[in-house]
Structure 1
Amino acid sequence: MAIRADRSRAGLSTPQCQTEFRAVSDLDSGLIAAWSDLARQVSEPNIFYEQWFLRSALDHLDHLDHQDDIRLFLLWSGEAGQSQLLGLLPLGPVGHYGRWPVPHVQNWMHHNCFLGTPLVCIGFEQVFWENLLSALDSSEWPGFLHINGMTINGPLDQALRMVCDGQKRRCDLVHSEARALLQSDLSADAYQRATLRGKKRKEWRRLGNRLGEKGDISYGHLLDDRDLDQWIDEFLALEKAGWKGKSGSALDCSPDTSAFFRQSVTAAAASGQLERRDLRLDGKPLAMLVNFLSAPGAFGFKTAFDEDYSRYSPGVLLQIENLKFLDLRRLEWIDSCAAQDHPMIDHLWSDRRHIGRFSIELHGLQNRALFRGVRLGERLMGKVRKRRIFDPAEGQS
């Protein structure tokens, strides 16, 4: 059953707004349509919370991450389910905070979800946080709110800090990392010259020429569903043949993650948000990548390469080809979704996107005591480990 909270009872601004915690088993066609409309007018795009991707994850991965009580927090402009959807965030109660047995509420993410920023309609960022925090203050869920993987210093972060400051509510950035971002007004060639040393560019040209001596090289770039099932089969086989397959972490090592990948890529193609690139030698794939598009940006989702040809760096050669994204001028940026200090993409892409985890205090004596105790413990451990958290919103650690 959905848990509902009427904003008009909270005495806040825009009293016509209503909030709803909807079970993920209760996704009707009306919500799906409203969800799709919301994704086209958000202040910060996040394909990982768009309906086609999140539904794919919920169909196949929710039990893998031990989240049995996921709800969609929904902010409606008027009557729930009968008005414009203004905001959405999947979340639920969690029993542990890291290794500590501390109950709290957290946005739902999984191993193949690389951003946790809520979907919020432009101009309603503060309204979204006011409603979410008010609803959680009066809910049965204990502890504090933890937002994992949110863009730092973006519109949603700025609005959250402003709301918490106005309500005298603690909002702490507890972890931050920087990952590679491709964003430039330069052409692909000019970007390479500005970013990469001449010696490196010469080396990669040499590797490409040497690989060309082995046979016919071709670069593929697809934005539709042409031969998609075969392409997916090739990608899964290519990834599994490498170190991920040996370690058991390749998508095709599990029927759940394999089905999730197939469904999400197929759904992205159906919604016009799929970009595929590949490097082939005599028709055989040596490197493949998947980007998901969500204007004004894109997200690098998965890459794979043939490790038998690692001496030619096929993954790097394909990423150099991927720089032609800059020449198309259809979108403004690509988030690599890679780990911080990635040994390959960090050298190719010079910009960085800062992603962080935020812990937010909920009202109530018990909740506040729990939150402040946890934060005290984190600060003490941070000092022992000499951990520094860089906050680009404040320009300091």
Structure 2
Amino acid sequence: MIDIAHQAAINPASATDAAPACTLVPLASVDIGQWRALAQQAVEPNGYYLPAWELAVSATAQGRTDAMALRAFNASSKRLIGLMPVISLWRASKIPLPALVSAHPYGTLCSPLIDRVSSIEAAARLLQRARDAGAHALILRDVALDGAAMTSLNDVLARTGLKPRVLSSYVRAALDARQDGETLLREALGARKLKELRRQRHRLEELGPVVFEVARRPDEIGPALETFLQLETSGWKGKRGTALVQNAGDATFIRRAVPELAETAQCEIVCLRAGTTPVAAGIVLRHQDRAFFFKLGIDERFAKYSPGVQLTIELTRHLCADPAIASADSTANADHPMINPIWRGRFAIGDVLIPLRRNDPVAVIIHAALVARGVAYEAARRAVRLLRK
């Protein structure tokens, strides 16, 4: 008979129903004030684990609902010092083994929130709480491999003789916003490319003056969001049926999260207009001194004028001119053809398996199962590409 702690790793929701005092609790039950305080002093920013964003994701977004909270508290003050939204390995990968996996928000970053002052204690307690839940491994998806959160976890693992295993990794674009924007763009793109982009911008100006707008205030953000959603739906995502507004849950999530984050100055929508016509728009999250370029929508009628590039260039200038922002995460795929030539900074993102017990054969089996699944997935992708050719 499976015990409740083991059941929590396999099916967190049912385990919590059976035992309200279980290690894992619904995200919605986390004290919002403590969550916000932790986010303010997290050792590494993650805009996608801000409470307004992640609670909206977990409540409504397609395929991402009902994540649980793995929490760490300070021993003396009982202050929340660590938080990681999680789901079971079964739910994440259909593998029936006792492991917990970081819940994937809308956005490709799952670095947990770890208190800056108590980072080692927070990391150690998060790992212990995962053990308490019956998990034999903790799997972090899309974590910054060299980020401060992963460094804290690695420090704790080294002290206990445990070694994490990187399951997969890639490098993506980032912006060093401490540089002068014009200098950065000139060095990244070169004189010829910038001249071509100026020519394209002049063609856009035939529709009217080209203006870069930033919506920040709660009264501005609603209309700006609808402009973004309209642009996204009008493009290739709309043709594929993957635009946010085309799924009721996703539309509810984004319309809830963006205004709530705007109330705390943690979200803005940037838009490029030619006259009265919006040609590109993007959603940008802000957490501590880092920005996160969530999504971009363009009017593809003007694709030959590179509206997405034009908007990204203006966003680059905007972020570099903001003393509150030191860096920006593109949250893009590896080798992204649009943003990689503009944002030349790079950092490693990966999926990491953390074994929770020494010499644990169950963790070895979990690792082997994930590797086999990854091999099968890549083989299927190659087969699909060959069939399309």
Q: Tell whether 2:63 aligns with 1:65.
A: yes
What is the rounded CA distance, in whole Å, between the counterparts of 2:56 and 2:377 in structure 1? 38
What is the rounded CA distance, in whole Å, between the counterparts of 1:386 and 1:356 in structure 2? 16
What is the rounded CA distance, in whole Å, between the counterparts of 1:385 and 1:256 in structure 2? 27
Pick one of 86, 89, 109 that aligns with 1:91. Answer: 86
Which residues of 2 match residues 27-38 of structure 1 at below 5 A? 27=29, 31-38=31-38
2:118 matched residue in structure 1: 124
Aligned length: 360
What is the rounded CA distance, in whole Å, between the counterparts of 1:203 and 1:131 in structure 2? 54
Closer, same or farther: CA 126–139 of 1 in aligned 2, 3 Å: same
What is the rounded CA distance, in whole Å, between the counterparts of 1:117 and 1:244 in structure 2? 27
132-141 vs 323-332, which moves further: 132-141
- Deviation of 1:381 after TM superposition, in Å, equals 8.8
1:392 matched residue in structure 2: none
1:208 matched residue in structure 2: 201
Which residues of 2 match residues 226-305 of structure 1 at below 5 A? 226-305=219-298
Identity %: 25
Q: Do the aligned partners of 1:335 and 1:353 also contact (CA within 8 Å) in 2?
A: no
1:56 matched residue in structure 2: 56
Q: Tell whether 2:370 aligns with 1:372.
A: no
What is the rounded CA distance, in whole Å, between the counterparts of 1:298 and 1:382 in structure 2? 31
Secondary structure of the residue that 2:150 maps to in structure 1?
Answer: helix
Closer, same or farther: CA 35–188 of 1 in aligned 2, 3 Å: same
- Deviation of 1:383 after TM superposition, in Å, equals 9.6
TM-score normalised to structure 2 length: 0.85
Can you give the 5+ residue segments of structure 2 that lack an aligned partner in the other structure?
6-20, 380-389
Can you give the 5+ residue segments of structure 1 that lack an aligned partner in the other structure?
4-18, 388-397
Q: Tell whether 2:127 aligns with 1:133.
A: yes
What is the rounded CA distance, in whole Å, between the counterparts of 1:72 and 1:290 in structure 2? 26
- Deviation of 1:216 after TM superposition, in Å, equals 2.8
What is the rounded CA distance, in whole Å, between the counterparts of 2:353 and 2:303 in structure 1? 42
CA RMSD of aligned residues (A): 2.8
- Deviation of 1:101 after TM superposition, in Å, equals 4.8
1:24 matched residue in structure 2: 26
Q: Do the aligned partners of 2:89 and 2:95 also contact (CA within 8 Å) in 1?
A: no
What is the rounded CA distance, in whole Å, between the counterparts of 1:285 and 1:113 in structure 2? 24
Closer, same or farther: CA 385–278 of 1 in aligned 2, 3 Å: closer
Secondary structure of the residue that 2:255 maps to in structure 1?
Answer: helix
Q: Match for 1:202: what amino acid? A: K
What is the rounded CA distance, in whole Å, between the counterparts of 1:83 and 1:98 in structure 2? 34
Secondary structure of the residue that 1:181 maps to in structure 2?
Answer: strand
1:14 matched residue in structure 2: none
What is the rounded CA distance, in whole Å, between the counterparts of 1:49 and 1:382 in structure 2? 26
What is the rounded CA distance, in whole Å, between the counterparts of 1:20 and 1:74 in structure 2? 11
Q: Do the aligned partners of 1:150 and 1:356 also contact (CA within 8 Å) in 2?
A: yes
Secondary structure of the residue that 2:207 maps to in structure 1?
Answer: coil
Q: Match for 1:200: what amino acid? A: K
TM-score normalised to structure 1 length: 0.83
- Deviation of 1:261 after TM superposition, in Å, equals 0.8
Q: Do the aligned partners of 2:170 and 2:350 also contact (CA within 8 Å) in 1?
A: yes
Secondary structure of the residue that 1:354 maps to in structure 2?
Answer: strand
What is the rounded CA distance, in whole Å, between the counterparts of 1:363 and 1:50 in structure 2? 30
2:137 matched residue in structure 1: 144
- Deviation of 1:273 after TM superposition, in Å, equals 1.1
Q: Do the aligned partners of 2:178 and 2:325 also contact (CA within 8 Å) in 1?
A: no
Q: Match for 2:55: what amino acid? A: R
Q: Match for 2:350: what amino acid? A: G
- Deviation of 1:227 after TM superposition, in Å, equals 3.1
What is the rounded CA distance, in whole Å, between the counterparts of 1:78 and 1:290 in structure 2? 38
Secondary structure of the residue that 2:301 maps to in structure 1?
Answer: helix
Q: Match for 1:347: what amino acid? A: P
